[in-house]
Chain A
Amino acid sequence: MAFKKIGPQVWINLLFILFCLSCIFPLFAILSVSFSNETDIIQNGYRLFPAMFDFSAYAYILYKPLQILNAFKVSIFVSFFGTLVSLLITAGIAYPLAREDFKLKNKLSFYVFFTMLFNGGLVPTYMLINNYLHLSNTIWVLILPYLAVPWFILILRSFMQKIPHSIIESCMMDGASEFRIFFQIILPLAKPGLATVALFMLLQYWNDWWLSLLYIEKESLVPLQFMLYRMMNNISFLTNSSNMMPPGMKNVVLPSESARMAMAIVAAGPMLLVFPFFQKYFVRGLTVGAVKG
């Protein structure tokens, strides 16, 4: 018996070790390149371990730290403040949708769901935000559009539906107001769900460069991911389309390979630290939401 079980065990473990490696490897490679010497990279190509440790890439991107620090500040504010407000609003919508005794439940659910399939499209959205709401070049334009994401609302609704209705009823009998039930009973009970959704939101805010590409023209409001996106995109444009351009762009100094990777590490770093913090709830939240999904 015991012998029989070892075979599949080995295979499963092996499979997951390989899978794990294929996830870690690229990250490790980026880390290694960011610590490499630029001439080493050009002459010998990428290596898994740097031939020689060299911190010049980090020195280069942190040489004028003001810009990058400011981008950090914007990113952090947007991510945390945005997640907090968004969580409150999402929970606020999800809760009534999960209540069995709410009459408009189905219609409202459909309304939320409908926006997942149909939306105004890029240009009308841009016109609304830019021409009518005049939100361009404000910090709020990075936060407001993601405040109520239908997908997160639906995940949280399914999670809240798991909370037995009798709990709410007994609270009502004890004379608790709706607000008290929501803040003191439902939210604590929904913690795993909230944590999962909060992590999604945090990642969404942190990784977003699209909103800043569209609406931000002021340097002081550029978040970290957009800085990175812009840098990478400029490089790829200059290397791919330079033959079409008027001659003379060639001597533009592009950030070195290692500086780009260092930048990627700097941008990804904080999220790597945040993830384990949420992980406790993460698995539970995901599966619980999925059963009823």
Chain B
Amino acid sequence: MFRKMKWSKALIVAAALVLLAACSTPPSEKPSEASNKPTPEASQNSDADLPEVKLTWYFPGSFPQADQELVFAEVNKKLKEKINATVDFKPLGFGEYDQKMQVVIASGAPYDIAFTSNWINIYSQNVAKGAFLPLDDLLAQYAPKSFAAVPQSFWDAARVKGKIYGFVNEQIAARTPAVVVSKEEAEKYKLDIPAISGKLTPDTLPLLEPYLQNVRKDFPQKGFVTSLVQLDGLFFNLEPIAGIQIPGAVDFSDPTLKVVNQYETEGVKKYAALMREWNAKGYLNSSERISKKADDGTEVKAGKVAVGIGGSYKPGGEVELSAEVGYERLQLPSGTAHLTTGGIIATMQAINRNSKNPERALMLLELINTDKEIYNLLNFGIQDKHFKLDADGFMVKEGDASQAYNPNVPWMFATNFLAYVEKGKSKTVWEETKQVNKDAAPSQLLGFTFDAEPVKAEIGKVSALFDEYSRAIDLGVSTEAKYNEFLAKQKVAGSDKIIAEMQKQIDAWKAAK
């Protein structure tokens, strides 16, 4: 008996040791640093001399698409011709991408390119893990055109500790929530557009009230829909450091970069008070909306929204908004657009540290970012099969056949500005978008990314609090006492510690700059 016990104990210890050993060697350490440095002669070779390679590319979107294999085969034909490479496309649905990438990255698989951002396959976490290759030297050498085309401030936003790990796809990076109304109603009930467009703040939000009342006279079921999550910090002239859910934001106009709790600012408090008032007047349809955790767009489709604020204003956005509901809608910028790190790093491709052909991967990205034909093939499918270009050069997607390939992620493959313009949008929509990006007020925190690791536990607690209280605040069904209770509970959960940590990191970042 005794001997048997010893046996099994030894076995446990042995097994535990094996497990520990397996865990303590992260696979990402394996490749030598030498592979990071491009071989200089490779770039001097003409394209014809390039050896054939197969690259692997993971990306999210509305996948699977029925005809995706057809389209990818077509793309590969063209890539083979131009850069003697083919790509093993690994398209994944949004719901599975995050989970899958975590395993793929942890296993040290030698894929080449992966989409990364601040909302899926999180950039800062992956960089911290050492999953991606620094691109500083490679960019100028292998992707000179795209490197020059993207504004320097965008590259700076992608820097982590001074190095660029992400290839930025340009898109509408300047963000401000959009005010969305029905076009017909706006004309009929006299929405005062010049007074509202770009000028809404928590103080001027009541300007919408006369319009709301007018609409509700004829359509009493229509109300006002927005939420803290949709307004984001932007509406309150704040830049949240770790998302609106987590206390800690910097005022755009504060040069000292002082981190404050956004829920203790006058702006958010005024918003909460106004929502209480509007709920008392019945504008918010709160008794119906409270049955759901978030507004998922069904209210609009059910015809119960007079004014909605949310999403992001962008040139040409009304075409998509109208297509969503089947009648014409208007969008107005709610405030001044701001250029934040989050808006820029929302769309990037990263190259795997374990990639065997990083320079070829960059050449591929360069090609897709400069070759209109290949980009649009990936984006819309095969011309005359999945989309048509009309006489004026607008892109038309009509009929069932066209839906066999429609991943709907133009900003994912490469820079959005190469896309054929959809019919209905202005011909110069991309120039307008570039202008919005250019005109936007750049955040003073551009290039700063918060490392949440030291206060992970506190962040978990306060975001649970946000889930508990925010819906009631948005629907105006809470009281001021409840709001103060929310603030008090945040304190207990460690909001001060989070804010102090943010301040510390920002100060260190500022000093390093």
List A residues at the B interface (Cβ < 8 Å).
42-43, 45, 64, 67, 106-107, 110, 114, 118, 120-124, 126-127, 130-131, 213-214, 217, 219, 229-230, 232-252
17 pairs from A and B in contact (CB 8 Å cutoff): A106-B4, A213-B96, A213-B100, A219-B69, A233-B94, A239-B296, A242-B311, A246-B416, A247-B311, A247-B312, A247-B313, A248-B317, A248-B408, A248-B411, A249-B408, A250-B320, A251-B324
CA distance A110 to B294 in the complex (A): 49
Q: Which of B78-109 contact A (CB under 8 A)?
A: 90, 92-96, 99-100, 103, 106-109
CB of B23 within 8 A of chain A? Answer: yes
Q: Which 9 A-B pairs have the closest CB atoms?
A: A233-B95, A244-B119, A247-B312, A234-B95, A239-B296, A237-B94, A42-B302, A123-B106, A251-B320
CB of B15 within 8 A of chain A? Answer: yes
CA distance A124 to B8 in the complex (A): 24
Q: Interface residues of B, CB < 8 Å — how many?
A: 62
**CB neighbours of B27 from chain A (8 A):** 127
Contact of A239 (CB < 8 Å), options: B69, B96, B294, B301: B294
Distance in Å: Cβ of B340 to nearest Cβ of chain A = 12
Known: A42-B298, A106-B4. 10 other contacts (CB 8 A): A123-B106, A127-B107, A213-B100, A239-B294, A243-B310, A244-B118, A244-B346, A248-B410, A250-B297, A251-B320
Q: Which of A64, A131, A246, A248 has the most CB of B within 10 A?
A: A246
**CB neighbours of A241 from chain B (8 A):** 119-120
Known A-B contacts A127-B27, A239-B296, A247-B172; the reply to A43 vs B229 at CB < 8 A is: no
**CB neighbours of B317 from chain A (8 A):** 247-248
CA distance A261 to B68 in the complex (A): 26
B316 to A, closest residue via Cβ? A248
Give 1 or 0 for each of B298-330: 1 = CB within 8 Å of chain A CB.
Answer: 100110000000111110010011011000000
In the complex, the answer to whether A214 meets B100 with C-beta atoms within 8 Å is yes
CA distance A45 to B19 in the complex (A): 51
Distance in Å: Cβ of A57 to nearest Cβ of chain B = 16
Contact of A114 (CB < 8 Å), options: B11, B66, B99, B346: B11
B244 to A, closest residue via Cβ? A243
Known A-B contacts A126-B103, A127-B108, A131-B107; the reply to A230 vs B93 at CB < 8 A is: yes
CA distance A59 to B312 in the complex (A): 35
CB of B220 within 8 A of chain A? Answer: no
B175 to A, closest residue via Cβ? A247
List B residues at the A interface (Cβ < 8 Å).
4, 7-8, 11-12, 15-16, 19, 22-23, 27, 62, 64, 66, 69, 90, 92-96, 99-100, 103, 106-109, 118-120, 171-172, 229-230, 232, 243, 291, 294, 296-298, 301-302, 310-314, 317, 320-321, 323-324, 342, 346-347, 408-411, 416
Known A-B contacts A244-B346, A248-B410, A251-B324; the reply to A234 vs B62 at CB < 8 A is: yes
In the complex, the answer to whether A251 meets B311 with C-beta atoms within 8 Å is no
CA distance A126 to B109 in the complex (A): 10
In the complex, the answer to whether A219 meets B347 with C-beta atoms within 8 Å is no
In the complex, the answer to whether A248 meets B314 with C-beta atoms within 8 Å is yes
In the complex, the answer to whether A121 meets B346 with C-beta atoms within 8 Å is no
Distance in Å: Cβ of A47 to nearest Cβ of chain B = 14
In the complex, the answer to whether B19 meets A118 with C-beta atoms within 8 Å is yes
CA distance A131 to B4 in the complex (A): 37
CA distance A269 to B320 in the complex (A): 38
In the complex, the answer to whether A120 meets B19 with C-beta atoms within 8 Å is yes
Contact of B15 (CB < 8 Å), options: A118, A123, A232, A234: A118
In the complex, the answer to whether B95 meets A124 with C-beta atoms within 8 Å is no
Q: Which of B16, B96, B410 has the most CB of A within 10 A?
A: B96
A67 to B, closest residue via Cβ? B66
Distance in Å: Cβ of A148 to nearest Cβ of chain B = 18
